[in-house]
Amino acid sequence: MFYGEYLHSIDRKGRLILPSKFREAAKGNFVERFFVTRGLDKCLFMFPEEEWRAQEQKFKSVSFTKQESRIFNRIYFSGTVEVAPDRQGRVLLPQYLKDFAEIKKDVTIVGVSNRIEIWSTLVWNEFYGNWQQSFEEIAEKLIDSKV
């Protein structure tokens, strides 16, 4: 549903404008609300509501008697905020999420199929620079040659 890489900025009121392609995809799939939380690799994950509910079910089924499960769920869910884009496609990101992702002004918004990732452009460039050379090796390990 969400694909591509887009450069944007946080406005002076702390809002982020979603790329028009993402707004169109959301509208075409009847998505009105998103859930934003702490992601991995210093980015934010933004899920459409239906996908968020699926993720929530998956993590709720993990035993709370295991310490790693409790820690993950606390950090993951405590950082979550529900957002609904305004008419211009803007969403307000809380300061604690921007701090987590080291977002100041410039952001890179990345479509990763069922979710959107929101990165500080500096962090994204570092991540991409570190991993682009390994992309083919990773692909060989993950993708079955019979596909």
CATH of the domain at 101: 3.40.1550.20
Judge contact between 119 and 108, C-beta under 8 A. yes
107-124 confidence digits (pLDDT tens): 999 999 999 999 999 999
Q: What percent of the chain has pLDDT over 90?
A: 76
Q: In angstroms, rounded to a whole number, what is the distance separating the alpha carbons of residues 76 and 35?
A: 11
> Is the residue at 126 inside a domain?
no
> Is the residue at 137 inside a domain?
no
Confidence check: pLDDT of 141 > 90: no
> Is the residue at 57 inside a domain?
yes
> Is the residue at 131 inside a domain?
no
pLDDT score recorded for residue 22: 96
Cross-strand partners of 115: 112
Q: Are strands 106-113 and 2-9 parallel, antiparallel or unpaired?
A: antiparallel
pLDDT score recorded for residue 38: 96
> Is the residue at 24 inside a domain?
yes
Q: In angstroms, rounded to a whole number, what is the distance separating the alpha carbons of residues 55 and 52?
A: 5
> Is the residue at 117 inside a domain?
yes
Mean pLDDT of the 50-65 span: 89
Both tokens of 89, joined, read 């496609």
pLDDT score recorded for residue 32: 93
Tell me which residue has tokens 């620079």: 129
Confidence check: pLDDT of 64 > 70: yes
- Dihedral Cα 127, 128, 132, 136, nearest 10 deg: 80
The residue type of 46 is M
> Is the residue at 74 inside a domain?
yes
Range of the domain at 14: 2-121
Q: In angstroms, rounded to a whole number, what is the distance separating the alpha carbons of residues 6 and 1?
A: 15
- Rounded to 5 degrees, what angle do the CA atoms 129, 99, 21 make? 60
> Is the residue at 128 inside a domain?
no
Give the least confident one: 13-17, 19-23, 34-38, 64-68. 64-68
How many domains are contained in the chain?
1
